[in-house]
C-alpha cells in the first residue's frame, strides 16, 4: 500500500498535530533500513581482528591488523563519492528508488563477505575482493543517509522536521548495538574457537534476512511529496552535480555546511562513541569487556536524547543546539577525560600526579613515532625510550637535552638511561631492549603505575556518568543535523547537496579521528594530546557556524525550487 503525502506536510504555519500512522511508517521504514545499513557497516569494524587473520594472513600479525583497518577505512574514504553518485540519482529519478538501491548494494556486499573464501583458499584475491566489497559498502552508505533524511524530512509537517528526522539519527547507535548483540550471541553459542574459525561468517550471512525485511518495507512506500510536486511541475534538476557545486550560490552553502556544521558534528560524534572506548582500553588499561559495557550503558541512557534535541530544535532552532554542543566539547574535553582517568584507573591518575614520567633527549634524534605498517626501525636512544613507554601505554612529557646527549627516562626521582641500537647486532639489540624494558617496568611498578586498571577500584557509576555526558554532546550535535541540512538546500538539488558535506564531514573528518588522534599521542607521548584534533575541528565549526550559517527551522522546504 502506497503512502500519500500527509495533510499539512511541509506547509508553513500548519497547526501542530499528532504524528499520523502514515508518517510513523515512513520514519520506521527509513530508520529500520538505516539501522540495518549501519549494522552491516559496523560488523566489519567489530570483527577486524578476526578478518585480519582470515584475509591478510600472508602478512605478519601487526601488519595484517593494520591492513584490515585500512580496508575498513576504505569504506569511509569512498562515502563522499557515494554521496555524489546516489545524490545525483536521488535528485533526478527520486528519493525512494535511489535509497532502495543503496540498501540492496549494502546488504548484498555484506552477505558476500560471509561466503568469501579466505587468503588460505584463494590467496591474494581474497583481500582484493574484500576491499572492493568494503568500498561498495561505503558507496552505498554515502547514498543511504541523504536519502533517508531527505525522505523523512519531505514527509514531515512544517515545525516537526527536527523531531521526525531525529529518529534517523538514532540509527547509527542502534546499528552498532545490533551488530554487537548478534556477534555476542553467535560467539556464545558456538564457542570462541569455532567463532574464529567459521562462526564469524554468521553475522554477515544474517544480513540477508535484514535486507529482505528492509526492501519489503521500503517497496510499500511512495515517493516523497516534495519530489512529487517538483516533478509534476517539471522542475527536477537535469544536472544536480553542476547546480550543487558549479554555481557559487549553492557551493557556498555546501562549504558552510561542511565547515560550519558537519565537520564539528562528526568529531564530537566519533569522540563520544569511539575515541572514548579507545581511550579506556589503550590509555587507561581497562579490560575490553568492561569498557564495552560502560560505553553500552552510556549509549542506552543517552540515545533517547537524539529525539529530545531534535524536537527541541523545532522550538528554539537547530543552530543554537549544534553550536552549543561544539562549544561544550571544546571547553570540557580535557577536564572530562582527566576525570575519566580518575574514575576508571585511580592508581594511574595518582601515579601520574605523584611521579611524572619525563623523557630528556636531544630533539634531533627523536623521530616521528607514528608507525602504521610496523616497518619503521627506531634505533636512537630517544626513539628506543619513547617506544618502550608507548608499548606500556605510559603518558610522558618531553624535555630537550643538549645535542649529542643520550636519552634518559625520569620516573619520579629515578633516572633510567636509554641506549642506542645503532651498530648493534640483532641479538645485542634484543638483549639490551629486554633489560631496558625490565628496568623501566620495575621502576613504574615501584612508583605505583599499574599494569592494568583494577576493577575493584573503578568508580563505575562515575564512569557511566562521564561517558553519558560525552554521548549527550553527540546527541546535541547530531540530533538536529539532518533537518538542518535538508532545510539548507532547495528541493531540486537537496539530495546531492546535503549528502556531500555530510559524508566528507563524517567520512573524512570523523572517520580519520582515531588515526589522527593516535598519531598525535604517539608523537607527543601525552595521552590527552589526541583530544586536540576534535577540539580544533569542533572549535572551527563553532566559529564558522555561529558567524556564517543561517538558522533554518522556519524555512518552508516546499517553497521555490
Confidence (pLDDT) at 224:
61
Choosing among 3.50.50.60, 1.50.10.20, 1.20.1260.10, 1.20.1250.20, the CATH entry for 22-236 is 1.20.1250.20
Confidence (pLDDT) at 234:
63
Could you tell me if 272 and 336 are in contact, meaning their C-beta atoms sit under 8 angstroms apart? no
The x, y and z cell numbers of residue 434, run together, are: 629486554
**At the top level of CATH, which class does the domain 356-446 belong to?**
alpha beta
Average pLDDT, consecutive stretches of 10 residues, N- to C-terminus, the chain (561 residues): 41 53 72 73 74 76 65 80 79 72 85 90 88 87 76 80 85 79 86 89 89 81 64 64 77 93 94 87 84 86 94 95 98 97 93 89 79 59 85 84 90 90 84 90 89 92 97 95 89 79 86 79 86 97 96 78 52
**Strand bridging mode 357-361 / 397-400:** parallel
Say yes or no: do domains 22-236 and 248-348+451-561 share a fold: yes
Q: Domain ranges for the chain, please list them.
A: 22-236, 248-348+451-561, 356-446
Is pTM, for the whole model, over 0.75? yes
Give the position of cell 613504574: 444
Give tens-digit pLDDT for 278-294: 899 888 989 877 887 89
Max distance between CA atoms of the chain, in angstroms, equals: 81
Of the candidates 33, 129, 138, 131, the residue with the CA atom closest to the CA atom of residue 81: 138
For the structural domain made of 248-348+451-561, what CATH number should be given?
Answer: 1.20.1250.20
Nearest-angstrom CA–CA distance, 271 and 277: 9
The x, y and z cell numbers of residue 73, run together, are: 577505512
Confidence (pLDDT) at 301:
93
Give tens-digit pLDDT for 388-434: 887 777 888 889 999 888 999 999 889 999 988 888 888 888 898 88
Give the position of cell 550535535: 477
Confidence (pLDDT) at 75:
80
Could you tell me if 495 and 90 are in contact, meaning their C-beta atoms sit under 8 angstroms apart? yes
Amino acid at each position: 500500500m502506497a503512502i500519500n503525502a500527509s495533510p499539512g506536510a511541509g506547509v508553513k504555519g500548519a497547526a501542530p498535530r499528532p504524528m499520523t500512522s502514515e508518517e510513523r511508517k515512513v520514519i520506521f521504514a527509513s530508520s529500520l533500513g538505516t539501522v540495518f545499513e549501519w549494522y552491516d557497516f559496523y560488523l566489519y569494524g567489530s570483527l577486524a581482528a578476526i578478518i585480519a587473520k582470515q584475509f591478510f594472513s600472508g602478512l605478519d600479525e601487526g601488519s595484517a591488523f593494520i591492513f584490515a583497518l585500512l580496508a575498513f577505512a576504505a569504506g569511509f574514504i569512498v562515502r563522499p563519492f557515494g554521496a555524489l553518485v546516489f545524490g545525483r540519482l536521488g535528485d533526478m529519478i527520486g528519493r525512494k528508488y535511489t535509497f532502495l538501491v543503496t540498501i540492496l548494494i549494502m546488504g548484498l556486499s555484506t552477505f558476500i563477505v560471509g561466503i568469501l573464501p579466505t587468503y588460505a583458499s584463494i590467496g591474494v584475491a581474497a583481500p582484493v575482493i574484500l576491499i572492493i566489497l568494503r568500498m561498495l559498502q561505503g558507496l552505498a552508505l554515502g547514498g543511504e543517509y541523504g536519502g533517508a533524511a531527505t525522505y523523512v524530512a519531505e514527509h514531515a509537517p512544517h515545525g516537526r522536521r527536527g523531531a521526525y528526522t531525529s529518529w534517523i539519527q538514532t540509527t547509527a547507535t542502534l546499528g552498532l548495538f545490533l551488530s554487537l548483540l548478534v556477534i555476542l550471541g553467535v560467539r556464545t553459542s558456538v564457542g570462541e574457537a569455532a567463532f574464529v574459525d567459521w562462526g564469524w561468517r554468521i553475522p554477515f550471512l544474517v544480513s540477508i534476512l535484514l535486507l529482505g525485511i528492509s526492501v519489503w518495507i521500503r517497496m510499500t512506500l511512495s515517493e516523497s511529496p516534495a519530489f512529487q510536486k517538483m516533478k509534476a511541475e517539471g522542475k527536477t534538476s537535469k544536472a544536480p552535480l553542476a547546480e550543487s557545486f558549479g554555481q557559487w550560490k549553492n557551493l557556498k552553502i555546501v562549504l558552510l555546511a561542511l565547515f560550519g556544521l558537519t565537520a564539528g558534528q562528526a568529531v564530537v560524534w566519533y569522540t563520544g562513541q569511539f575515541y572514548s572506548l579507545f581511550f579506556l582500553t589503550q590509555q587507561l588499561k581497562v579490560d575490553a569487556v568492561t569498557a564495552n559495557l560502560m560505553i553500552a550503558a552510556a549509549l542506552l541512557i543517552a540515545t533517547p536524547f537524539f529525539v529530545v534535541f531534535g524536537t527541541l530544535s523545532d522550538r528554539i532552532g537547530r543552530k543554537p543546539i549544534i553550536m552549543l554542543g561544539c562549544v561544550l566539547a571544546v571547553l570540557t574535553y580535557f577536564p572530562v577525560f582527566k576525570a575519566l582517568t580518575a574514575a576508571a584507573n585511580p592508581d594511574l591518575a595518582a601515579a601520574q600526579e605523584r611521579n611524572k614520567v619525563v623523557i630528556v633527549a636531544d630533539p634531533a634524534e627523536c623521530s616521528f613515532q607514528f608507525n602504521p605498517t610496523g616497518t619503521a626501525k627506531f634505533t636512537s636512544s630517544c626513539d628506543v625510550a619513547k617506544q618502550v613507554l608507548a608499548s606500556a601505554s605510559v603518558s610522558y612529557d618531553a624535555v630537550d637535552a643538549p645535542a649529542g646527549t643520550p636519552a634518559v627516562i625520569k620516573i619520579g626521582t629515578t633516572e633510567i638511561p636509554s641506549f642506542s641500537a645503532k651498530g648493534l647486532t640483532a641479538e645485542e639489540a634484543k638483549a639490551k631492549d629486554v633489560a631496558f624494558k625490565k628496568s623501566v617496568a620495575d621502576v613504574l611498578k615501584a612508583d605505583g603505575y599499574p599494569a592494568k586498571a583494577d576493577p575493584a577500584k573503578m568508580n563505575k557509576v562515575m564512569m557511566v556518568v562521564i561517558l553519558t555526558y560525552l554521548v549527550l554532546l553527540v546527541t546535541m550535535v547530531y540530533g538536529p543535523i539532518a533537518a538542518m541540512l535538508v532545510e539548507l538546500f532547495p528541493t531540486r538539488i537537496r539530495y546531492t547537496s546535503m549528502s556531500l558535506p555530510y559524508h566528507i564531514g563524517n567520512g573524512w573528518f570523523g572517520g580519520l579521528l582515531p588515526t589522527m588522534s593516535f598519531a598525535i599521542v604517539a608523537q607527543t607521548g601525552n595521552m590527552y594530546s589526541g583530544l586536540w584534533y576534535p577540539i580544533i575541528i569542533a572549535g572551527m565549526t563553532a566559529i564558522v557556524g555561529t558567524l556564517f550559517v543561517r538558522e533554518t527551522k522556519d524555512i518552508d522546504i516546499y517553497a521555490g525550487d
